[in-house]
Structure 1
């Protein structure tokens, strides 16, 4: 048995009737795949996909974080499902179906994943929607789980069978769980003190805290003192970021809208080369341009930049250990700038600043904040924080994530993977809109998930993403 980290547990605690912590992917495939194929695939590869084999075990009285235990009787017939759109199904119909599936919470009595084979798409295509709870995977481990189901050629690889366990599986009894929880509660004040010491130099990058008057000054003074005492390279300061209110700020509903689009990676690279920026700079600028157009359409464009939460992995190269190892950096999105090139330059500068800070002193505040709170109180604290955020503009306006993926064709049971669109998380605290980008085989596959009531016209955002890319491409060609 493996215990969830404090951060893993937070993804369980944030769930309410409206805040759901599913992360998923929508794979578009060539036709021919059957549910029987998927059942055979999963049966033969469960041993290399740990999150698909484990279920939660709670600690009595909530005294400590839950544990993962191997589920000896995984019911694949329950987890692997199929449905059909009215043929010929459109992208909009597919997005609506995914919206409904994604809004449903996973059954915590079982391993926290579900898979849906979706028939009826136009053009002899099929879709495969796979969702996993965020408590079980982050971006890196989620990609690893996906990779375990994919092949680099039409002929499925023959994986070695599962090796028999050397002994009986480790079991932690209720009494031992309680004892461990009590022991952690005793040392919790030390964790709090350590957090305060580590966090002071980084107050300006913690959402909400960074907006408190004086937080930036305290951070700068503390970092300057550390530089003089240690001689380490000083960490650049972040500007004070005021979060504007938008139509997707506040309390989200239980309902979702999902849209997706494929952008040309070659065109993004063309822009990157023309302006001497990175692919991620271009992606963030395209998102900023699309959001600007959407807010102009709704007469809701703030006169200051939106504040985006940008997930960063804390893993070192080669680290594929279980659990979440992720943090969120905050960056200005320059949506208030009309000129696309000026917007690109502003986004480049904002992203360079947070990358410089992360490389010099990785931001671990998300993990540290989770570690500070006694386990029995984390659920209450998370819900209280989300209730507070729902009455304000929130700590950030939205999350934008750009995940690099493989640039070769991949296959599922001999069916070629044509596209892979991420389907991520929205919450009261992170805003009712999330844009996640995954690069695959020459394409940037963009998934846009939103609260149905806040952003009912989510497909217009994907149109504006294409417009923003075309606008920058035209300027780049004139350079």
Structure 2
């Protein structure tokens, strides 16, 4: 048993009829080496049954505090049955990628059942070429990107023969108690935390002040950088590298999102990304950000909606360091980075991405700004966090847009993985969109020599999201031409 953190709880509260807060991934697999060359639901259910003790999110569910006075608790589901969570669907012939994307979008837009552990796994049959798809989704309150990788590790193998797994009683992983504190104890704990909350809030404000200019919305206001520099001076710290104030421009994908989703996916060779990294003197993340910048520029330009200033992207960052590496709560933050879509020349645009990302990373690494998300989340007492979060989601977009979109680059394993003997050919991430973060989310995952792309979008704001897959590939070709160009 453990209690959700303020960040975890906020992921629960952001959900509405138009917003879901689970993350997921689409795995494309080759079942040739499965028994009989077929991957069945029954085999996947049994795999989860045997290995669910290796990944806590699979077996734990929510337990609310009395009267909502405190944050919920995670408790073991004593009635856990993987057959409630593993489902099977089929595509009509011919089973194209477009059909698969439409099916994944339909599955991704549906909320999870909060009465059970917050995850689902779908086996999708009928893909052309004899392939099979596996789509997993887990609530963001239960995992961040690092814990998602741990969950995958629990279910996947490095060869077609499944590895032996110790029984729960033989596992090194400590098991959670099955019961939460009683209602009276939870009520007492909640009242005690409420009494001490002003002290915790004051500490959060003090810790946040030096990094005010790096926080979305707050950093947009005039004077935020002056407050941050004054706080650094009072603490006798050197101010971090400065960056121009980032104000997201208006775009077609910023506005109230709908309840429906689209999901587009594709891959590019990771060797091309690595070659560009060497030849252009940049990082893999710089190459990814440059590709996204060029693709978004083309999408906006095609619609006569290209702003005259840079887009502003939130780039999620894992904060798992030291003792937090084994923490079961979300440990994440975000860098706020400009995407210079307004620059027409490819070379100048890439150089702008490269230089500004270097400054953004230096600012982030040289300060403690990474915990701003956690500090802000904890400023509201647990009893009022749901109301505060929902009010912010409803009111804030009418006055200010924190960012235009989210872009995430997640490193993955560079060896082939298997599930129940089926080889995983690709893994395309699926993430979250909201009114505050924009109607499009681009996430890439490097796996076994490929950079696998997943784009979640609101179809009402972002028609033609599949075009962005083509534009990302075109952007890679543009960078290859740039790398091959002779020096001036």
TM range (shorter): over 0.9
Instruction: State how 1:249-264 maps to structure 2 within 5 Å.
Output: 249-264=254-269
**2: CA distance between counterparts of 1:91 and 1:160?**
38
Unaligned runs of at least 5 residues, structure 2: 32-37
Task: State whether structure 2 residue 141 is matched by structure 1 residue 132.
Answer: no
In the alignment, the residues of structure 1 paired with residue 484 and residue 357 of structure 2 have an alpha-carbon distance, to the nearest angstrom, of: 24
Alpha-carbon distance, 1:358 to partner? 2.2
Q: Do the aligned partners of 2:77 and 2:178 also contact (CA within 8 Å) in 1? A: no
Q: Does 1:50 align with 2:59?
A: no
Aligned pairs, number: 475
Partner of 2:302: 297
Match 1:404 to one of 393, 411, 417: 411
Q: 2:314 aligns with which of 309, 318, 331?
A: 309
User: What is the alpha-carbon distance in structure 2 between the residues aligned to residue 168 and residue 132 of structure 1?
Assistant: 22
1:287 to 266, 269, 292: 292
Q: Is the 8 A contact 1:140 1:320 kept in 2?
A: no
Separation in structure 1 between the aligned mates of residue 27 and residue 470 of structure 2, nearest angstrom: 20
Q: Is the 8 A contact 2:30 2:131 kept in 1?
A: yes
- Contact 2:73 2:180 survives alignment (8 Å): no
* Aligned counterparts of 2:379 and 2:388: Cα–Cα separation in 1: 11
- From 191, 197, 206, the equivalent of 2:215 is 206
1:68 aligns with 2:74: yes
Change (3 A) 1:312 1:168: closer
Deviation at 1:72, TM superposition (A): 1.1
- 2:104 is aligned with 1:104: no
Q: CA deviation at 1:386?
A: 1.1
- 5 Å-filtered alignment, 1:19-168, equals 19-31=19-31, 32-163=38-169
> SS of 2:258's equivalent?
coil
Aligned to 1:464: 471
Q: 1:356 aligns with which of 341, 344, 362?
A: 362
1:357 Cα deviation after fit:
2.1
Q: 1:121 to 1:236 in 2, by over 3 A?
A: same
**Residue in structure 2 matched with residue 8 of structure 1 by the alignment:** 8
Counterpart check, 1:278 vs 2:287: no
d(CA) in 2 for partners of 1:160 and 1:135?
28
- The 8 Å contact of residues 233 and 360 in structure 1, kept in 2 or not, is answered as no
CA, structure 1 residues 312+186, in 2 after alignment: closer, same or farther (shift >3 Å)?
same
Indicate if the aligned counterparts of 1:245 and 1:393 stay in contact, CA closer than 8 A. Answer: no
1:343-385 alpha-carbon deviations (Å, 9 max, x no partner): 1111112221222122222321110011110111111111111
Matched residue, 2:423 = 416
Contact 1:250 1:393 in 2 (8 A): no
What CA distance in whole angstroms lies between the structure 2 residues aligned with 1:386 and 1:270? 42
Which blocks of at least 5 consecutive residues in structure 1 are unaligned? none
SS in 1 for 2:378: helix
Moved more, 406-415 or 161-170: 161-170
Structure 1 counterpart SS, 2:25: strand
Match of 2:377 in 1: 370
| 3-state SS of 2:374 partner | helix
C-alpha distance after superposition, 1:275-332 (max 9, x if no partner): 1110100000000000000000111110000000011111115813211000112110
Q: Which residue of 2 aligns with 1:383?
A: 390
Q: CA deviation at 1:238?
A: 2.8
Q: CA RMSD in A?
A: 1.5
Give the Cα–Cα distance (whole angstroms) in 2 for the partners of residues 30 and 87 of structure 1: 18
Residue 182 of structure 2 is matched in structure 1 by: 173
